[in-house]
Every structure is written in structure tokens, then in C-alpha cells.
Amino acid sequence: MTSTTLFWIFSIISLISACMVVSLSNAVYSVLFLIVVFCNTASILLLLGAEFLSFLFLIVYVGAIAVLFLFVVMMLNVKIDGVKINYSTIFLIGILISLILLIQIWTALQLDIEAYANIGVSLYQNNFPTIVSWIQEIELPSNTESIGLILYTSYSLVFIMCAFILLLAMIGSIVLTMNQRSGVKTQQITLQLYRNQNKVVRFIDLRKN
């Protein structure tokens, strides 16, 4: 089985699973199909040679976010309400978002990425994609090394800002969970440990008149 056949198999399964995610009314089934989408996308990235992004999808999205969504949905016990959905409005919004996404992809493909100059890789030569042989590929940096060089050189400021935003989100979640209400009855362990056992238990003789 060639890589092209595997690519089409994973792509078709991803598209079907993505349609099931947005069409199913049960939130648990939607999250399960979302995990299938992430797994097939990771397989496609692995076929394309982007092994770092592939394992990043599996570890971050499938291993953390999707499983978290699944447990949260199951614990909340979301009930299906009989709400009528206007599919025409959703269809128009979906078309608009798809057009914006296609414009962004087309714009990204038209631009020559200048960040690759920092690692000594040229994507285009005379307006054509550069063909690199396996012998020359050995001397080039790996995908993980290339992503690290790009992140910490051309996009270092953006990388630090994202880390700062994640730090603020983590601190905010800790502060929200530590917010204690005044009217809540709590267990006082010290008073329970220092109590007198003779005053706690009292024996009553029921046969005595």
C-alpha cells in the first residue's frame, strides 16, 4: 500500500469524522469522533514527514484536550434539549468561515517564508519548489530542529507572549479555585482531634426505671 493510498484513506476518514462531529447531537459521540479526526490528522502529518507536528497532535490534542473534553462532558451529564436549530444560518456561517480559511491558505502558499533563511533552507528557486535529494537531506537540520530555530529566532517575541498568556490563564484558574465563600460549613480537624471522648459517648440504661 503506497503513501498516496494511505493519504486518501486518512483524508476520507478525517472528513467523515469531522462531519459527524458537527452533525451529532450527543456531545460524547462528538468528542469521540473528534479524537478520530485528530488521530487521522496525525497520521497524515506523519506521512508528509512532519513527525514533530504529528506526535504533537497525539500528545497535546488527543492525550490532553480531547480526553479532558470527554471527561468534562461525561461528568456534566449534558442533556439533549428539544431546541430547534436553524440550519440555513449555520450553513451560511460555515461557508463564510470556509472562504476565510481558503483565503488564508492561498495567501500563505503565495508568500515566500523568509524565516527559513535562518536555517539555510530555500523553499523556492526560480519560482519553483526546490527538489532536495536524500544525500543533501542528511546535511540539513531535522524538522524538530528547524521548528526550534524558527520559533526562537523569527518568532521569539510571539512565543514568549503565548507563554505569558498561558501563565496568566494558569494563575487565573488557581485564583478562581481558591476563592472561598464565607457561608460554607467546613470541617475543623483540630477540634475533632482535641475532643474529649468521655463527653462524646453516653451510655443509657433503658431497663432502669
Q: What is the pTM of this model?
A: 0.56
Q: Is the dihedral of CA 129, 130, 132, 137 positive or negative?
A: negative
Question: Mean pLDDT, 10 residues at a time, over the chain (209 residues)?
Answer: 84 91 82 88 86 84 77 66 67 88 81 52 55 63 79 86 88 73 71 72 69
Beta bridge partners of 128: 125
For 34-103, give the secondary structure using H, E and C: HHHHHHHHHHHHHHCCCHHHHHHHHHHHHHHHHHHHHHHHHHHCCCCCCCCCCHHHHHHHHHHHHHHHHH
Residue-wise pLDDT tens digits, 139-174: 777 777 888 888 888 888 988 998 899 899 888 877
The angle formed by the CA atoms of residues 93, 99 and 103, to the nearest 5 degrees, is 150
Domain spans, the chain: 1-83, 84-132, 141-181
CATH number of the structural domain 1-83: 1.20.120.1200
Tell me how crowded residue 56 is: count the other CB atoms within 10 A of its CB: 15
Secondary structure element (H or E) that encloses residue 25, with its range: none
Beta bridge partners of 129: 124
Query: Nine-digit cell at 106?
Result: 492561498
pLDDT score for 136: 63
